[in-house]
């Protein structure tokens, strides 16, 4: 029998970025908040201090900071006609685990989506006509606009101390920033990071080709910073151990370095770590959540009663809890009905690895940070005329190389053997004079009728619950997009003086073992119609109004940027709606 804990105003599932933001906002409003986190507590001094954080084998290759598939995983197939098989070791993406969530191991690339991204179907239909979109593409408008989210993007950037150069300040286009970005109300809180050699050279070449390069917005700090909550961070040391690693310098924005030191000290906040929520409990009507059930590290089951439940776990786990708790109608792609599992997306990433004359170029690739880089945005979203190209979507591209860690980043020219004397010689010759941006082309992935999540019929987790089944493949629109963008990207490296290039186009079929990014989106999306969305514009469940589901699960489709800035902006947007409207009159914030 589950043991019952005392009632709280709010139960939060997952203490990563969104859980930390919501907990801080709602404790400020005077509510009693309990956050329940599956993984362990993590902090700099114990988990990744600067005397052993720089361990490529432990953190990058053996996945120290991530969820273990033995705890839970997903099954995967490309097509509905195939049998899905379990992901036994992580590949295409890396689900986080522990307090801080993905905020511990991310690169801290802190982007905003374009204004047109939020009204995507309306915008594209108006510009190109409805016939221009593939028939099975299920893109939607978000139900929220860039203008509405702007103050919330701004709050997150000032929380993190994001470093960058504004390109559009209250409508005025500024030199050196991204001229395509939506208007921002004030400049970034910190100046851009210093750019190493290859990143600088990329920007010069891009400028020669007529593009407008700008520094990637970075949550690795260019200087010491004290945020509005009074929490301090130090200057980034360009150590080259950022993504997949925790930061030993307190210089990467994470819940640990921006919110938790304040949140944890509040008397109305409690967290439980190593506790996995197994379901959301509903009253007999099925229209009201009464709290959550979770299992602690000893196997003891607990019930946490609460007035409001916030799902703040990773994208797919939010969707899984909805499915396992029978909240919302599961999506059926054949009937094209239902909402839970619908519009699932990832990203369309590719890379160009370039080789330069070692006598002329010393790039020192190990001098880098997670969000270092010079980018261009000419080929993102609808920043260019798609008419002649026959596809929609796009992405930023840039020399965003984050590291020279030698297990991962010892590129050799195409045609080199993978082992033996020639391989060894090529590694030695090219290490200092090659560029490997990693996720150089950061393309969008739009949503399709046959790309979705549901519960697997045979594979189970350690509690005997069904795993989530991913059905996903690339569609021709994304592959066309990627060919076009990768070729434009390669032209810039050509202009930099590369003597050889390896254009690594993204190809079908979608491969679950091949890392892209951890930017999985959708499955419980926001929108204006309960028939085609699980959540209303405030991320409130249409079916259970005292449940909010906060994360990239709400994206109706993915844009050509890293998602965290938008995830956090949605978290603040939702928190404001809860504080200013829901608490005064608990119930649906939008009438269906």
Partner 1 sequence: MGDGVRRRDVLTGAALALVSGAAARAGVIKGDLPWRPDAVSPPPRVEPGPWQFFTPEELPTIEALADRIIPPDPETPGGKDAGCVVFLDRQLAGAYGSAEGLYDRGPFIQGVEQQGPQSSKTPAQTYRAALQALDQYCRDGGGNGIPRGRRFAELAPNEQDEVLHGLEGGTVHLPGLEAKHFFITLVKDIQDGFFADPIYGGNRDMCAWKMIGFPGARYDYRDWVSRHNERYPLPPVSIGGRAEWTPRQR
Site for partner 1 in 235-254 (CB under 8 A): 235, 237-241, 248-250
Max CA pair span of the chain: 74
Name the residue with tokens 């990744």.
Answer: 48
* 55 belongs to the binding site for partner 1 (CB under 8 A): yes
Q: Alpha carbon of 285 to those of 281, 288, 325, 503, 533: distances in Å?
A: 11, 7, 13, 56, 21
173 lines the binding site for partner 1 (CB under 8 A): no
CA torsion through residues 170, 171, 177, 178, sign: positive
Instruction: Closer to partner 1 by CB, 31 or 567: give it.
Output: 31
Among the candidate windows 121-129, 341-349, 512-520, 584-592, which touches partner 1 by CB under 8 A? 512-520
Nearer to partner 1 (CB atom), residue 122 or residue 425: 425
* Ranges within 244-303 binding partner 1 (CB under 8 A): 248-250, 260-262, 264-265, 267, 269-275, 296-297
Contact 86, 75 (CB under 8 A): yes
What is the Cα–Cα distance from 115 to 183, expressed in whole angstroms?
Answer: 9
Q: CB nearer to partner 1: give 370 or 404.
A: 404
* List 4, 80, 83, 126, residue binding partner 1 (CB under 8 A): 83
Q: State how far the Cα of 145 lies from the Cα of 166, in Å rounded to an integer.
A: 20
With CB under 8 A as the contact rule, which of the stretches 39-47, 122-130, 340-348, 546-554 interacts with partner 1?
39-47
* Residue list 460-489, contact with partner 1 (CB under 8 A): 460
Judged by CB under 8 A, the chain residues 177 through 236 that form the site for partner 1 are: 194-197, 200, 229-232, 235
Asked if 206 and 222 touch (Cβ cutoff 8 Å), the reply is: no
Figure out which of the listed residues 367, 490, 535, 567 binds partner 1, where binding follows CB under 8 A.
367
Taking the complex as a whole, the smallest distance from the CB of residue 331 to partner 1 amounts, in Å, to 22
- Tell me if 403 sits within 8 A of 246, measured CB to CB: no
DSSP 8-state code for residue 524: S
Question: How do 547-549 and 301-311 pair as beta strands?
Answer: parallel
Judged by beta carbon, residue 82 or residue 283, the one nearer partner 1 is 82
- Contact, 44 vs 250, CB < 8 A? yes
Binder to partner 1 among 3, 131, 407, 585 (CB under 8 A)?
Answer: 407
Task: State residue 173 phi and psi, 5-degree precision.
Answer: -80, 125
How is 75-127 classified by DSSP, letter by letter?
EEESSTTSPPEE--S--S---B-STTTHHHHS--B-----GGGGGHHHHHHHH
Scan for tokens 């590949």, then name that residue.
91
We find the least distance from the C-beta atom of residue 401 to partner 1, in angstroms, to be 13
Which residue's CB is nearer to partner 1, number 31 or number 547? 31
509 belongs to the binding site for partner 1 (CB under 8 A): yes
H or E element: which one contains 197? Answer: helix 197-208
Neighbouring C-beta atoms of residue 49, cutoff 10 Å: 13
Count of residues binding partner 1 (CB under 8 A)? 96
Q: Select from 163-171, 415-423, 491-499, 535-543 the region that touches partner 1 (CB under 8 A).
A: 415-423
Q: What are phi and psi of 514, to 5 degrees?
A: -105, 115
Is 519 known to be catalytic? yes
Which residues in the 95-124 window bind partner 1 by CB under 8 A? none
Measured from the CB of residue 361, what is the shortest distance to partner 1 in angstroms?
A: 7
**CB 285, min distance to partner 1, A:** 32
Does residue number 61 form part of the binding site for partner 1 (CB under 8 A)? Answer: yes
Q: 541: closest CA among 369, 325, 356?
A: 325
Binding segment toward partner 1, per CB under 8 A, in 71-79, 108-116, 211-219, 438-446: 71-79
Query: By CB under 8 A, is residue 91 in contact with partner 1?
Result: yes
- Is 171 a residue that touches partner 1 (CB under 8 A)? no
Among 128, 132, 384, 459, binds partner 1 (CB under 8 A): 459
10 Å CB burial of residue 456 (0-12, 13-18, 19+) is buried
Adjacent-strand bridge partners of 168: 173
Can you tell me which of 29, 85, 174, 324 binds partner 1, judged by CB under 8 A? 85
Q: Please say whether the beta carbons of 534 and 328 come within 8 A.
A: yes
Residue 441 is inside which H or E element, if any?
A: strand 441-443
DSSP bridge partners of 289? 282
The least CB distance from residue 318 to partner 1, in Å, is 20
How is residue 311 written in tokens? 């799902």
Rounded-to-integer distance, Cα 553 and Cα 573, Å: 15
**Nearest distance from C-beta of residue 169 to partner 1, angstroms:** 27
379: contact with partner 1 by CB under 8 A: no
CA distance 541 to 549: 7
63-71, 119-127, 525-533, 537-545 -> range binding partner 1 (CB under 8 A)? 63-71
Residues 554-573 that bind partner 1 (CB under 8 A): none
CA distance 181 to 114: 6
Closer CB to partner 1, 70 or 170, in the complex: 70
Work out how close the CB of 272 gets to partner 1 at its nearest, in angstroms, rounded to a whole number: 5
Q: Which of 63, 152, 346, 519 is catalytic?
A: 519
Q: Which is nearer to partner 1, 104 or 559 (CB)?
A: 104
- Distance CA(35)–CA(115), nearest Å, equals 33
Instruction: Answer yes or no whether residue 7 interacts with partner 1 by CB under 8 A.
Output: no
- 88 forms part of the interface with partner 1 (CB under 8 A): yes
Backbone angles phi, psi at 156, to 5 degrees: -65, -40
Pair type for strands 500-504 and 348-355: antiparallel
52 binds partner 1 (CB under 8 A): yes
Q: For the segment 419-448, give every residue that binds partner 1 (CB under 8 A).
A: 419-421, 424-425, 427-428, 431-432
332 binds partner 1 (CB under 8 A): no
Residue 8 binds to partner 1 (criterion: CB under 8 A): no
Enumerate residues 333-352 that contact partner 1 by CB under 8 A: none
Exactly one of 361, 396, 489, 542 binds partner 1 (CB under 8 A); that residue is 361
Chain-centroid distance of CA 432 in Å reads: 30
Give catalytic residues, as residue numbers. Answer: 519
């Amino acid at each position: 029998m589950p043991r019952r804990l005392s009632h709280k105003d709010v139960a939060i599932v997952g203490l990563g970025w969104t859980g930390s933001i919501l907990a801080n906002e709602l404790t400020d409003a005077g509510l009693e908040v309990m956050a329940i986190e599956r993984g362990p507590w993590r902090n700099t001094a114990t988990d990744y201090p600067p005397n052993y954080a720089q361990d490529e084998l432990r953190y990058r290759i053996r996945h120290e900071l991530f969820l273990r598939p033995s705890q839970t995983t997903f099954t995967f197939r490309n097509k509905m006609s195939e049998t899905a098989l379990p992901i036994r070791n992580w590949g295409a993406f890396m689900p986080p685990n522990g307090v801080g969530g993905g905020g511990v191991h991310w690169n801290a690339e802190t982007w905003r989506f374009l204004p047109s991204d939020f009204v995507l179907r309306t915008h594209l239909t108006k510009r190109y006509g409805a016939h221009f979109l593939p028939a099975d593409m299920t893109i939607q408008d978000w139900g929220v606009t860039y203008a509405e989210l702007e103050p919330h993007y701004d709050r997150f950037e000032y929380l993190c101390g994001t470093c960058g150069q504004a390109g559009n300040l209250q409508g005025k286009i500024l030199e050196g920033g991204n001229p395509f970005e939506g208007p921002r109300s004030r400049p970034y809180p910190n100046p851009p990071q210093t750019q190493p050699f290859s990143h600088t050279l990329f920007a010069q070449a891009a400028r020669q080709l007529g593009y407008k390069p700008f520094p990637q917005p970075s949550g690795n700090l260019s200087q010491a910073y004290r945020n509005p909550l009074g929490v301090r961070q130090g200057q980034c040391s360009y150590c080259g151990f950022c993504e997949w690693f925790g930061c030993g310098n307190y210089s990467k924005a994470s819940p640990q370095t921006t919110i938790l030191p304040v949140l944890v000290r509040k008397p109305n906040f409690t967290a439980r770590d190593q506790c996995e929520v197994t379901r959301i409990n509903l009253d007999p009507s099925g229209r009201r959540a009464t709290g959550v059930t979770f299992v602690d590290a000893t196997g003891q089951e607990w019930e946490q009663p609460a007035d409001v439940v916030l799902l703040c776990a990773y994208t797919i786990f939010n969707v899984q809890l909805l499915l396992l708790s029978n909240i919302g109608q599961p999506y059926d792609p054949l009937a094209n009905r239902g909402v839970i599992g619908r519009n699932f997306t990832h990203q369309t990433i590719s890379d160009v690895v370039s080789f330069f004359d070692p006598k002329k170029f010393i790039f020192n690739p190990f001098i880098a940070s997670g969000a270092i880089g010079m980018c261009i945005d000419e080929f993102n979203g609808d920043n260019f005329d798609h008419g002649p190209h026959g596809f929609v979507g796009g992405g930023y591209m840039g020399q965003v190389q984050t590291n020279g860690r030698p297990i991962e980043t010892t590129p050799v020219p195409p045609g080199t053997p993978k082992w033996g004397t020639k391989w060894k010689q090529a590694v030695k010759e090219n290490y200092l004079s090659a560029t490997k941006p990693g996720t150089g082309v950061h393309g969008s992935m739009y949503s399709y009728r046959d790309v979705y999540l549901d519960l697997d019929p045979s594979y189970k987790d350690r509690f005997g619950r069904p795993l989530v089944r991913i059905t996903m493949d690339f569609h021709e629109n994304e592959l066309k997009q990627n060919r076009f963008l990768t070729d434009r990207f390669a032209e810039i490296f050509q202009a930099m003086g590369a003597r050889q290039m390896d254009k690594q186009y993204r190809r079908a079929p979608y491969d679950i073992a091949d890392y892209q990014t951890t930017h999985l989106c959708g499955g419980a999306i926001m929108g204006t119609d309960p028939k085609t969305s699980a959540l209303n514009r405030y991320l409130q469940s249409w079916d259970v109004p005292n449940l909010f589901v906060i994360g990239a699960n709400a994206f109706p489709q993915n844009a050509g940027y890293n998602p965290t800035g938008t995830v956090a902006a949605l978290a603040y947007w939702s928190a404001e709606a809860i504080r200013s409207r829901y608490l005064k009159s608990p119930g649906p914030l939008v009438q269906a």
